[in-house]
Amino acid sequence: MKGYYHSKETFGTVDGAGIRYVLFLAGCNLQCAFCHNPDTWKRGSKMIGSQEVINEVNEYRSFYEASGGGFTMSGGEPMMQPEFVAEVFHLCKKNNISTTLDTSGLCAKEAFMKVLPYTDHVLFSLKAALPALHRKLTTVKTNTAIIENLCIVAKRKPVTLRYVVMPGITDSEIEIAAFIHIIRSLPAIDLSVDLLPYHKMGIPKWKALKMPYSLDYVEPPRAEVMAEVKVQLTAAGIRMAY
């Protein structure tokens, strides 16, 4: 089976444990206002076969094994091509390669049920806890389905829950309270939170694509802002990834 992809990275170090082969699939159904890779939104024509992916992973296998790394499927949104992800992950497991899924969680529940049996770890990015804020930051009307999927995933697999801290937007008292509420209501087996500071490095890509960037006025958070959000989460008994 073949999948639409945007790019690959053979020595990825930020998308899961150790050194990883990261395949960025093309296509995204969220289209976040702060996306730093808007060039991944459209599918384009680049395709790769599942066995071809495994052959490439095997080329660098010694590095992945020595570092405790493996294979990460990212995007765009990989769960828009669940059959392909499931097939590649299945082949990874047959070849003893660890698998990480990097997703924003918007897809049918059945899609997760296809992929999770072959998934070791999930990086789940929740864009906003409050539905109204989620609507503002993405093109999706509500985050209900995403939170339901987060629940399905957290019940079955270790999850690193990623959350972008944007000063004055995602760090408000009411939003953080809603974020804590969601996490505490999850039947999680192994969940930690990774707070990511908002950055503006993707703006040149928006300009190159001639798309208006609506968050020009937002500045990256100061260290104190990151620390304050961390304090609130840890005080609520939530484990941090770092």
- Binding stretches for ligand SF4 (CB under 6 A): 28, 30-32, 35, 37, 40, 75-77, 104
Closest residue to bound ligand SF4 by CB: 35
Instruction: Give me the least distance between CB of 77 and ligand SF4, in Å please.
Output: 6
Any bridge partners for residue 199, and if so which?
none
Residue nearer to ligand SF4 on the CB measure, 70 or 75: 75
Instruction: Give me the least distance between CB of 27 and ligand SF4, in Å please.
Output: 9
Instruction: Give me the least distance between CB of 61 and ligand SF4, in Å please.
Output: 28
Neighbours of 18 (CB within 10 A): 15
Neighbours of 47 (CB within 10 A): 14
Residue nearer to ligand SF4 on the CB measure, 41 or 64: 41
Instruction: Give me the least distance between CB of 140 and ligand SF4, in Å please.
Output: 10
Q: How far is CA 199 from the centre of its chain?
A: 16
Contacts 24+ apart (CB under 8 A), 89-97: 89/115, 89/118, 89/119, 90/118, 91/50, 91/51, 91/53, 91/54, 92/54, 92/57, 92/118, 93/118, 95/54, 95/57, 95/58, 97/54, 97/57, 97/61, 97/64, 97/70, 97/71
Instruction: Give me the least distance between CB of 99 and ligand SF4, in Å please.
Output: 19
Residue nearer to ligand SF4 on the CB measure, 89 or 198: 198
H/E segment holding residue 242: none
Residue nearer to ligand SF4 on the CB measure, 21 or 198: 198
Residue nearer to ligand SF4 on the CB measure, 97 or 105: 105
